[in-house]
Amino acid sequence: MELAAWATIFLALLLGAVLFPLITFLSRGRRAYNLPPGPKPWPIIGNLNLIGELPHRSIHELSKRYGPLMQLRLGSVPVVVGASVEMAKIFLKTKDEAFSDRPRFAISKHSSYDYSGILWSRYGPHHRQARRICAAELFNAKRLESFEHVRDEEVRVMLRHLHQASGRTVRLRDYLQTLALGVISRVVLGRKYVVEEEGASPPAITPAEFREVMDEVFVLLGAFNIGDFIPWLDWLDLQGYVRRMKKMSATFDSFLEHVLNEHNERRRLEGDRFVAKDMVDVLLQLADDTDLEVQLSRVSVKAITQDLIIGATDTAANTVEWAVSELLKNPKILAKATEELDHVIGLDRLVTEGDIPRLPYLEAILKETMRLHPGAPMLAPHLSREDASVDGYGIPAGTTVFVNVWSIGRDPALWDAPQEFRPQRFLDSKIDVKGQDFELLPFGSGRRMCPGYNLALKMIALSLANLLHGFLWRLPDDVAAEELNMEETYRLAVPRKFPLEAVVEPRLPARLYMGA
């Protein structure tokens, strides 16, 4: 860092050191709360010094010391962490409405059109209506079924490309991200933006640019922006994250403007013959409905569209990559999964979505993967809308709330040998991932649960089943199963720190891969 930057930081911290005693003195007359236990905060930085590169792990260790309900202070932001089934149920069900708001971080402002989407919007009429639209119009059973052919086609494209890499070491994440982006862009936008489409009009963004902006979104969603926690440093943008967020937002907005213009032009040309083909079509039709409780503006349509694209992409790819990683570390489990697929599917066809309910061991593998590697280990943060009492402690309005589902997934009181990958634990269990069983909450629960979880589950199950059924997987010769690196890196989702590399060999007739 340049000398001038260090000087600016020093002066800012010096100013804080001068102001802190004054702020403390002025705040003495405020209402006192019986706050949950937690580490004593330092002036200015609070407990930020206790948070490492993997916040869910740092906070997990703190919870082991201070309990399943813990108070932190991150800079000037009061934070409460729930790290047990009981706490998750209180925050996400019993007192869901009281904790259903979102904090206003920089990324939520710049990635969601000033909080106009679904993920980061404040709780109220706009958010409730967006949720109703998702449930009734975008992710209902009929709509999801209508896109089954898209999921099937994109999985077959992935299998064909992997077949072409037969006998070579592949970086699995590249194939999974292409699959996820292909499905989501076709379902939401009506067009596959991750590759050049023959005969299609030139897109506003090249496939390479589309991937680049998506990668930037996921990096920035997990970035620790110091200005969010020490607001009087926000104007300095010390890490440059806000500048990057603004640039990313401008690129995405230009792209979405082009998408909406194309869709509106098709609506105009087809007139009364127009039929909605994708989710943007549905949203634009709803924007014409003057009877909605909250009118959908063009900005709202773009914000919801952006959330839809972002929501399922990273989670689906990460979950499948973690699943294959765990299976390569546990060859006996991989063999058992392959045996089930051979018995149910046979060796003369690919897996279809209709087969998934007849694959209980595959389902158990997915649940066990999401227990150990939840897509968002602390879920997206909640915010208390009002003063509340939890387990005898006071939670003031304006407190940021994290539910550490990563901790819950490793609770020895809930799980036998919680650090081990044991899919069989779910074979005779009724625990599901749909938000009603608080032992396993990869998609959250309550008013803020991921609205597209059904689509994500379909993508994850179909892609993993076909990867296992279509190929023999092994680690490169110089990597032993017990030596496979399983380190994480932190984003809103938590992918592998080092992308999985494995050797693929087809195990089905060649003609099955060529039909993609």
- Dist CA 66 CA 68 (whole Å): 7
Q: Per-residue pLDDT tens for 327-359?
A: 999 999 999 999 999 999 999 999 999 999 999
From residue 240, give the alpha-carbon distance in Å to each of 23, 235, 246, 270: 28, 11, 10, 46
DSSP 8-state symbol, 488: B
Tokens of 174: 């590249």
Band (pLDDT 50/70/90 cuts) for residue 197 is low
* Domain assignment of residue 293, yes or no: yes
Q: Where are the beta strands (DSSP E) in 30-174?
A: 69-74, 77-82, 169-171
Element (H, E) at 402: strand 400-403
Confidence (pTM)? 0.91
> Does 134 belong to an annotated binding site?
no
How many other C-beta atoms lie within 10 A of the C-beta of residue 272? 4
Residue 244 predicted with pLDDT over 80:
yes
Residue 3, in any domain of the structure: no
Mean pLDDT computed over 442-454: 94
* Entry field: residues in the chain: 516
Share above pLDDT 70 across residues of the chain, in percent, rounded to a whole number: 91
45 pLDDT above the threshold of 90: yes
pLDDT, average across residues 2-31: 46
pLDDT digits (tens, 9 = 90+) for 156-175: 999 999 999 999 999 999 99
pLDDT of residue 194 exceeding 80, the answer is no
Is residue 9 included in any domain, yes or no?
Answer: no
Q: Long-range contacts of range 242-248, CB-CB < 8 Å, 24 or more positions apart? A: 242/106, 242/110, 244/216, 244/220, 245/106, 245/107, 245/110, 245/111, 245/220, 246/110, 248/110, 248/111, 248/213, 248/216, 248/217, 248/220
Find out whether 437 and 378 touch, Cβ atoms under 8 Å.
no
Name the pLDDT band for 18 (thresholds 50, 70, 90): very low
Q: How many domains does the chain have?
A: 1
Question: At which residue do the structure tokens 């063009």 appear?
Answer: 298
406 — phi, psi (to 5°)? Answer: -65, -40
Phi, psi (degrees; rounded to nearest 5) at 412: -65, -15
How many angstroms separate the CA atoms of 36 and 505, rounded? 54
Domain-embedded: residue 288: yes
Give the pLDDT confidence score for residue 196 in this predicted structure: 65
Q: What is the pLDDT of residue 231?
A: 94
- Structure tokens belonging to residue 289: 């409905």
CA distance 459 to 351: 12
Alpha-carbon distance of 10 to 7, in angstroms, equals 5
User: Residues 318-333: pLDDT tens digits?
Assistant: 999 999 999 999 999 9
Residue 146 has pLDDT above 50, yes or no: yes
The whole-angstrom separation of Cα 475 and Cα 504 is: 9
End-to-end CA distance of the chain: 50
Q: Which of 145, 147, 155 is nearest to 463 (CA)?
A: 155
Across residues 364-382, what is the average pLDDT?
96
Q: In CATH, what number is assigned to the domain containing residue 302?
A: 1.10.630.10
- Residues of the chain with pLDDT > 90, as a percent, come to 82
Dihedral through CA 88, CA 89, CA 95, CA 97, nearest 10?
70
Q: Could you tell me which residues come within 8 angstroms of residue 268 by beta carbon, excluding any fewer than 6 positions away?
A: none
Closest CA to 369 of 332, 341, 330, 311: 330
H or E element, residue 324: helix 298-329
Predicted pLDDT at 442:
95
CA 413 – CA 219 distance, rounded (Å)? 34
pLDDT score, position 29? 39
Residue 25 lies in a domain: no
The string of pLDDT tens digits covering residues 411-436 is 999 999 999 999 999 999 999 999 99
Please give the angle made by the CA atoms of 165, 153 and 516, to the nearest 5 degrees: 45
Return d(Cα 495, Cα 490) in angstroms, integer.
7
Crossing angle for the helix pair 453-470 and 148-164, to the nearest 10 degrees:
30
Strands 77-82 and 169-171: unpaired
CA distance 123 to 505: 49
* 19 falls within a domain: no
pLDDT of residue 202: 59
DSSP strand E in 35-102: where?
69-74, 77-82
Report the pLDDT value the prediction gives residue 407, as an integer from 0 to 100: 98
Name the least confident of 68-82, 110-124, 154-168.
Answer: 110-124
Domain that holds residue 416: 31-514
Give the separation between CA 499 and CA 261, rounded to whole angstroms.
37
**Residue 508 CB-half CA count within 13 A:** 25
Q: How confident is the model at residue 201 (pLDDT cuts 50, 70, 90)?
A: low
With b meaning 16 or more CB within 10 Å and e meaning fewer, what string describes 461-492? bbbbbbbbbbbebbbeeebeeeebeeebebbb
Distance CA(463)–CA(457), nearest Å, equals: 10
Q: How many CB atoms lie within 10 A of CB 7?
A: 10
311 falls in which pLDDT band (50, 70, 90)? Answer: confident
**26 lies in some domain:** no
Name the average pLDDT for the chain: 91
447-448-450-452 Cα dihedral, nearest 10 degrees: 50
DSSP state, residue 149: H
Dihedral sign computed on CA atoms, order 176, 179, 185, 187: negative
In a domain, 160, yes or no: yes
pLDDT digits (tens, 9 = 90+) for 252-276: 999 999 999 999 999 999 999 999 9
Backbone angles phi, psi at 105, to 5 degrees: -85, 165
Tell me, what's the pLDDT at 491?
78
Nearest of 110, 284, 113 to residue 190 by alpha carbon: 284
Residue for token pair 């949950």: 36
